[in-house]
Amino acid sequence: MRKPIVSIIGRPNVGKSTLFNRIIRKRDAIVDDVPGITRDRKMAEAEWEGVAFDLVDTGGFVPKSRDAIEVAVAQQVRFAIAEADVILFLVDCTVGITDADDAIARVLKKSGKSWILVVNKVDNEKRALDAFEFIRLGLGEPVSVSALEGRGMGDLLSILVETLGRPQKEEKIKDQNLVKLAVIGKPNVGKSTFINVILGEERLLVTEIPGTTRDAVDVQVCVDGHNFLLIDTAGMRRRSQIKENVEYYSHLRTHRVVEECDVASVFLDAEEGMTQQDMRVIREAVEARKGILLVVNKWDLVEKDTERVRQWEETIEHRLTGMAYIPVVYVSCLKKLRVKNVLDLAWKISQERGKRISSPKLNELIEDMNRSYQPPAVQGKRVRILYGAQVGVKPPKVVFFSNYPHLIKESYKRFLENKLRAKFGFEGVPISFLFKKKR
């Protein structure tokens, strides 16, 4: 039995994300005084009195706006209403009833859904009396809370559980084979479009305006029997280009996603080419020791231009010097060309990331290397790799024991890595090498 879904809706800046964070007991959604921060639907697990449910945060609902982003957000909110079992309609006690509140109330009455009217920012007894004004919306008796201070939250959640009908608590299934796939890259390279194509619906907000996605958004999907958690992230810019507080926090959230994912798919724009910022994003995923693949999007715009294709191949070969293990897939999310190949490759990389080499096979390779190529003498001393062992997975970590580990040159370390990859694979996976002295 699936967990029920609870959606928080309301006009901009009434405290929806603050309430979302309070209920899930984490600072997961970005909160700022600027209206319109949340744009996509954001979902997280929550529980109260033994009842588990999925909580959905939504963008500010402006029903009659002509602004492109606000129109797209309104569509996302309508999706959230359609899929919800119970709706928390949040209003602001300090402002009173607005035209937008009236419009949202009319939408709810036509939805056929269960709802709870929640009056936020009720920080004292006077405001508790003011909250009764919202009875005029015709949605029943309001529940007064202060999401910021936590006031009234117990009463709200108890009413919510009662409205849900107290379904039996669903045990959380820990899927050991779930692959957390981060979709990262610069703004406006097609990250959200990719996820929408995979899902077959307009699940994430997509416009042609750069910077539309701000929060990291998690969506679980099963493709060909493989389970993925797709994480759409805000576009990663250079820190010098980050000016808004919200964009700064989005940037930090994206970095956190890279740290927590299993595989990072770095999206590039085929028309723009590979930029210095793209390389920074790639290096960040490599330094975090995550699985990694490059996705060149909008390939339909260049694939018939032989010269442009050749330039791309030469650029990637040059820029990925020392990172030739990173695979590249060329797609067009708009045309839905080869999009599924991204998931196929991400799954393969996740399996490679958990691969373990037995010590006998690794030492057999070391013996073969010692016979075919001896490390050059350094300071009159003959350097030898004596034996090795893999000591970790996800990410793979291999330790080599040597008589003079501090004298091993970088060129020989690259030789070791190339030989190991030629023998055992590890496509798309950075490997950590440690060199220790045999005592």
> d(Cα 203, Cα 131) in Å, to the nearest integer?
34
- Mean pLDDT over 161-169 rounds to 70
Helical H segments across 48-152, by residue range: 68-83, 99-111, 125-130
Kindly write down the DSSP assignment for every residue of 214-263, as one continuous string. Answer: -S-EEEEEEETTEEEEEEE-PPP--GGG--SHHHHHHHHHHHHHHHH-SE
Q: Is residue 419 part of a domain?
A: yes
Asked if 341 and 409 sit in the same domain, the reply is no
Asked if 369 and 346 sit in the same domain, the reply is no
The model's pLDDT over 25-57, given as tens digits with 9 standing for 90+, comes to 876 544 444 444 444 457 788 999 889 998 988
**What does the DSSP 8-state code read for residue 385?**
E
Q: Is residue 171 part of a domain?
A: no
Q: Is residue 173 part of a domain?
A: no
SS3 state of residue 94: coil
Domain harbouring 187, CATH code:
3.40.50.300
For residue 105, give Cα distances in angstroms to 147, 175, 198: 21, 40, 33
pLDDT of residue 213: 44
Q: Is residue 426 part of a domain?
A: yes
The model's pLDDT over 249-284, given as tens digits with 9 standing for 90+, comes to 445 566 778 888 999 999 999 988 888 888 888 998
Asked if 147 and 22 sit in the same domain, the reply is yes
Q: Strand 51-57 and strand 385-392: pairing?
A: unpaired
Asked if 111 and 192 sit in the same domain, the reply is no
Asked if 406 and 338 sit in the same domain, the reply is no
Judged against a pLDDT cut of 80, whether residue 155 lies above it is answered with yes
Asked if 340 and 255 sit in the same domain, the reply is yes
Q: Provide the phi-psi class of 116: left if phi over 0, else alpha when psi is between -120 and 50, else beta.
A: beta
Q: Is residue 170 part of a domain?
A: no
Asked if 326 and 371 sit in the same domain, the reply is no
Asked if 225 and 244 sit in the same domain, the reply is yes
Last residue of a domain, one of 353, 385, 420: 353
Structure tokens at 153: 């939250």
Centre a 10 Å sphere on the Cβ of residue 56 and count the other Cβ atoms it contains.
25
Last residue of a domain, one of 141, 164, 187: 164
Q: Provide the phi-psi class of 426: left if phi over 0, else alpha when psi is between -120 and 50, else beta.
A: left
Name residue, tokens 């893999």: 390
What is the helix (H) or strand (E) element at residue 268, kind and residue range? strand 263-269
Last residue of a domain, one of 353, 372, 392: 353
The model's pLDDT over 84-101, given as tens digits with 9 standing for 90+, comes to 899 999 999 999 998 888
Q: Is residue 174 part of a domain?
A: no
The number of distinct structural domains making up the chain is: 3
Asked if 21 and 135 sit in the same domain, the reply is yes
**Which domain, by its residues, includes 62?**
5-164
> d(Cα 35, Cα 61) in Å, to the nearest integer?
11
Asked if 390 and 263 sit in the same domain, the reply is no
The model's pLDDT over 377-387, given as tens digits with 9 standing for 90+, comes to 788 888 889 99
pLDDT of residue 126: 82
> d(Cα 371, Cα 366) in Å, to the nearest integer?
9
Name residue, tokens 């991400």: 346
Q: Is residue 156 part of a domain?
A: yes
Asked if 155 and 192 sit in the same domain, the reply is no
Asked if 184 and 130 sit in the same domain, the reply is no
> d(Cα 14, Cα 12) in Å, to the nearest integer?
6
Q: Is residue 172 part of a domain?
A: no
